[in-house]
Amino acid sequence: MDILNDYIVVIVMAICLCVGYIIKNIIPTDKINRFIPLIMGVLGVALNIWLNEYAITPEIVLGGLASGLASTGMYEMFRNFIGGES
């Protein structure tokens, strides 16, 4: 698990967290909510490629995926911490 910490890009994770939050609250149906991790993974890869001047390497793809998926985990952690819906 420590190896993933080397690949998480904070900027990408923060952007994905905000976009995921907006998607979840604008379209509050379960049909779209189950695709939010997929959307965040793809968005994370696209953002990380863009931040690295359109270079595509396995490390950049992994960093984008890890950051996008970490944003969904962070959302769930915050929601549980503040006592949101279960």
Per-residue pLDDT of the chain (86 residues; tens, 9 = 90+): 676 678 899 999 999 999 999 998 898 788 888 899 999 999 999 999 999 999 999 999 999 999 999 999 998 888 888 876 65
Rounded Cα–Cα distance for residues 4 and 8 (Å): 6
> In this structure, which long-range contacts are made by residues 14-19, counting pairs with CB atoms below 8 Å and at least 24 apart in sequence?
14/71, 15/43, 15/47, 16/40, 16/43, 16/44, 16/47, 16/67, 16/68, 16/71, 16/72, 17/71, 17/74, 17/75, 19/43
pTM: 0.85
pLDDT at 84: 62
